[in-house]
Structure formats: structure tokens, C-alpha cells
Amino acid sequence: MNTILNNRYEIIRQLGQGNFGTTYLAKDNNLPKSPVCVVKKLSPVQTEKKVLSEANRLFYKEAEALQKLGEHNQIPRLLAYFEENSEFYLVQEFIEGHDLTKEICTGKQFSETKTIKLLIDILQVLNFVHQNNVVHRDLKPQNIMRRASDGQIVLIDFGAVKEVEKIGEKKLGTSIGSPGYMPREQAIGQPKFCSDIYAVGMIGILALTGDINCGGVVIRNERLKLILDKMTCESWQKRYQTVDDVLAELKDLGLSMLKPQKTVLSTSPNRLQQLEQEMSKPTVVQDNKWRKALITGLTATILTAVPAAALYFARPFLFNERDTSALLNEDSKPEVPKAEVPKPEEQKPDVSQPEVLKPEEPKLEEPKPLSEVQSTSSSLKLARVRTFEGHRGTVYAVVISPDGQTIVSGSADTTIKVWDYGSGELKHSLTGHRGYIYTVAISPDGKTIVSGSSDDTVKVWDLTTGALLKTLSGHRADIYDTAISPDGQTVVSGSIDKTVKFWNLRSDELLGTITGYKYGVTSVDFVGEDIMAADIKTIKVWEPKTGLLKSTLATGGKYADVMVGMDDKQIIGTSNGAIAIWNSDSTTPVILPGDKYQVDSIVTTSDNIFAGRVDGSIQVWDLANKNLVTSFSGYHSNKVKSLAVTADGKTLVSGSADKTVKIWDLNF
């Protein structure tokens, strides 16, 4: 073939060749320094004019889809596509790294936590693919890269474009895929979204057992076995139908496998720097010798060493469906010594400090069925509902500016959008995070946005201009909640790495790190000058200046999220997906009526509780008498994942898994 393609791309060498074409490493001579890229050549099996015309149409259609997918950080960017001499070419970003055949090998087994982590790594990217109505169709270890620069999974070699080469074959359906990873419906040319889930399940079986057929290998964790069985069920109707469903199960399983951590609060800048350096040291991976093994018709190149990795799971309160989350793999953590909290010179022992409660598993009252609850007569009227569209993924976070004129939303599509409340105009779309946006907050002066993401960072933005001001790093896993202090000076963040960090918003200084949580921290807020942070089992209130743990409340639930009541005398949240209220004199909550596992988001005013539910409805409860006021249904078509409300309760904002933001104007 020509060494120069399209008068631009100079072939350096062949990278690979398969049934669907040839891949080359090339350099782009039209750009400064001639950067390297990957060129894929696709040749139709027939060259008749009619066949080529159909191949041309299909090629450009699929190339446009790949170009859209390349917007994701973990999918190679499509740089160009063209036709030359009746052959079709894709030019893609070159990913430096290795494919998963160098991590997964027959006869060698991943630990359960590493297997879960690997599955979720893959599924999180696949979720984006499916959200764009694309089926990958050729997921296997050879088509999944581990990027060298950051260790992230990258999906390559999408099967859809390979149909170009199949044009002209006389078959009922076009079969694209690889034996061992291709389910029955895909083999007859009828792939579905759950066909990709099947392939990921087979990768998980290979990683966990060292045998894609799982012959003679016992999977000890019964729950993981059931998940893999459902992922790889022969009948597509009995498989998980969405990636979200699989992620929910896997992340909940990951949550149940966590180990407790000791309590450490560090406020010494020197010690903090030392600890952060220790925690950021890369894991050294030594490669063993190559060997090959035949796996149901596939020849896989093997490397036995596996990088130490993080165990991922989602925010428990949201039924473990937040799509990107990371927990530290216990066997890969560095040994971190305790850091003593320096005592202020003038501070005296406080003999009146409340006793730290250490509840076991409290037996909480079961919520009454919602059917038995009588709605309270109310003057509440729904005046208007508006829909803001533009996100391409679940809207996990919404917030209203103090003046009520700006709405900010964060989404699984990795963007933050700033909307004008009155006109609905999209003022800014903020990009910079490399993962799902789980939390957004606005400073009391309305000038600053703070966001937290599955990329483990907190980012600070200028609300007016949309400019990125700074990035706060230090967490080692997904950040699920952030809050800004009432004086606007301090930012606090809670992470699935089981820590709470707080920074000076102006100077970027890390003021302290609180640990001591058994599970990932899902909620944070300020109670006066104190910090409240919760995992799924406990709510703890800390004095940040001294590191004093002032009180511990039990959630008693499997899923929990909390927020501070408007009068700071109550903590309002959920326990087992039902609304729960903790009074200042009680360590266990009062559970409001309703089915368990139905509340997916919650927000409160001084008078009312607003609860977003998994069926897409929003309930309004009277905070004083604990009665249901009303329920709005038929607006969101999927789960309500986030809520925000103005202090007067007249404007409610909701974000949903249906990818929309809705503005509710209420009259009381």
C-alpha cells in the first residue's frame, strides 16, 4: 500500500491485522512535530458499484457516531475519516498503553475486589456508549486498553464500523464479534445493548477464574457469581438490560466488602504534605514472562502481573447507581501512620464533651405503607413546570444561586451547565472534569461554583464567566458531596475513599483531613462552624479546628443520605431509601411512612421536605406534622436523582436519570 495516505498520513508500521481490516501506526505530516496516530483501513468484501455505494453510506454514518463517542476521555478521538481507492480509513488518537490481555490470563485469578473494580471500570465507559445509542459489539480483552499515562480503561475497536467490510455478504444478519464474548443473538446478527453486558461478564469470569468457561472453578462469593451468571445468561431477556442495573449490583457488592478505617484527623500542613506524597506514590508493577493460551477459539496474549487498583462502588443512598466511584483496594494501600492533632495553646480540656456513641445495628421501625398515609389538605399549587434539556447523561446534581436567578446542574456526561432561571437560556457549559459530576455547590455570595467528580477532584469555577479557577486534589476516589461554609471561606468534600477534606477556598490550602469512616462518605454539610459528614451507617459531627468528634448518630440503614434541617436542630435524610428525621436529642431517626428503597433524593425548607423518588415522582411532606402534602408525578420519566429548593419553597429544581432538569414554580 502507499506509505502516504490522503496526502497527509505517513505509515510507520503495521500494528495489527484481523478479519475486518488492518491497523497502522502513522504520523500526521500536516501538524507540527508530526504527531503519531492510528490509521485503520477497512476494505469491503466486494467492489461492485452498488456494494461500494452502500459501504460508503454506512462508513460515514458509523464514523460520525465514532466522532461523537470520541468526546469521552476514555474513548479514542476520531481525528479524520476518508475514502481512497475504494477503501475506507479511520484516523484515531494513538493510545499509549497495553491491552487487557497483559493483565488477564488463563490459570491466573484476580481477587474478587480487583474483578469488581475491572468490571466497573469497563461498564462506566460502556454506559456512555449506550447512552449515545451505540452497541460496541466487540468487547474483549484485546479491545480494552489500559492507558499508560493515568491507568484508565479505554475502549477501542468498535464493531459497528466493521459492517463496512461485511457489505455484500449473503447472510440473514451481519455477525460482528469474537467467539467466547459474543452471545447467541449477536451471532445471528441481532445485537442488543445487553449483548455488550454479556461480553463484559465473560471478561469478568476470565479475570476472576482464569478460565472463560469457568470449568471446574468455584466462585466463592455467591453474590458475585449470581451477578456474573445474570450478565452472561444465554437468554438475552433474562440478562441485565442496562449498564446502570449491573453497576448498581456491583457497587453495592463492593460496598459490603469494605473494611473499617482508623480515625485520623490531620491539620498539620507539613504532615498533610507528607501523607499526600506517600499516598500518591505509584504502584510498581513487574511484568512476568509472556505466554499464550487457547480460550474457546481465541488466542490471548497473557501477562500475569496486575496493577494495584481501586475498588469502585456508587453512592449508596442513590441505590448504588452513581456511575463512577472508586474505593481503595485494601491490599494496595500504603501504610499511613497516625497524625496527631495539634492542640491550641489556650484550649482547656472540655469535660462537657458529649460521649461518642458507637451504635451497633439499631433496629429501626419499619415505615408504614404509603397507602395508609392521608394527604394533608394544603394550599400548595403547582403553577408551572419547565424543562431544561442539554445534558446527555443522568443529572446527579442541581443547585440554585442565592438570588434565585441561576440554576447549575452536574451530570454523568462530565459537564456542568449554568442556566438562566427566567429565560431557560444555557449560559455556560463547563468542561474540565474527566468523570461524572456528582455534586455542585454555589458560594453564599453567588460568585463561585464548586464541583466534585468521579475523577477524584474538586474544581472551583467563576459562576459569571464559567472560567475554571482552581482544582483541589487529594482525594483518592469519587467525590460524592461538597459544601461551602456560611461565611464562604471553607469548602468541605466527602469521598468514597472514606475521608472528608476541607480547604480554604481563597488560598487553596488543605486545612485538614478527617478519616474514621467504615464506608465511603456520601454526604457533607456545615452545622454552624462544625462539619457534619455521613456514610451509610453513621452521621458524625466534627469540630474541624480541634478534630473533636462531637456526636455520632446511627442511620441504621443500608442506604443513607443526610442533610441539615433549615433550623440546624434536625438532620433530615434517608434510611433504607425512606425519609428519616434525627432530632437533636435522639441518636436514631424517626422514619416517615412509605416503601423502602424508593426515595432517591431529598431537600428541605423550614416547612417542607421534598423527596425525589425512583418512579420519577416528587413528594412534598409537612416537616412539622410529618404528613404527606402532595405528590407530583408524570413529569420525569425516570428516577429523580437530585433536588434543590429556594429558602421560601417557591422554586424547586430537579435533576433526573431522564437527562433533564425541571423547574417547578410552586404557590403556597
Annotated catalytic residues are 138
- The set of cell numbers assigned to 489 is 471561606
Q: Of 161, 227, 242, 237, nearest to 197 (Cα)?
A: 242
Bridge partners, 435 (sequence order) = none
Residue where the block lists cell 398515609:
373
Distance, first Cα to last Cα, the chain? 74
Burial class (CB in 10 A: 0-12, 13-18, 19+), 177: buried
- 521, 540 Cβ separation under 8 angstroms: no
Sign of CA dihedral 554, 559, 564, 570: negative
Bridge partners, 573 (sequence order) = 562, 580
Taking the C-alpha atoms of residue 424 and residue 599, their distance in angstroms, rounded to an integer, is 28
Residue 243 belongs to what H/E stretch? helix 243-256
DSSP state of 584: T
Could you tell me where the beta strands, DSSP code E, fall in 535-660? 538-543, 548-554, 560-564, 570-575, 578-583, 590-591, 599-604, 608-613, 618-622, 628-632, 640-645, 651-656
Taking the C-alpha atoms of residue 450 and residue 416, their distance in angstroms, rounded to an integer, is 10
Q: How many residues does the chain have?
A: 668
Bridge partners, 665 (sequence order) = 384, 651
- 90, 59 Cβ separation under 8 angstroms: no
CA distance to 114, 127, 179, 183, 445, per residue, from 293 (Å): 22, 30, 15, 22, 62
Taking the C-alpha atoms of residue 307 and residue 114, their distance in angstroms, rounded to an integer, is 9
- 65, 50 Cβ separation under 8 angstroms: no
- 181, 187 Cβ separation under 8 angstroms: no
Taking the C-alpha atoms of residue 393 and residue 583, their distance in angstroms, rounded to an integer, is 36
DSSP state of 540: E
15 CA to centre of own chain = 33
Bridge partners, 664 (sequence order) = 385, 652
- 315, 438 Cβ separation under 8 angstroms: yes
- 457, 415 Cβ separation under 8 angstroms: no
Q: Of 402, 322, 393, 398, nearest to 661 (Cα)?
A: 398
DSSP character string of 543-565: ETTTTEEEEEEE--SSSEEEEE-
Produce one character per residue of 254-274: b if its CB has 16 or more CB atoms within 10 Å, e if not: bbebbeebeebbbbeeebbee
CA angle 620, 622, 623 (to 5 degrees): 115
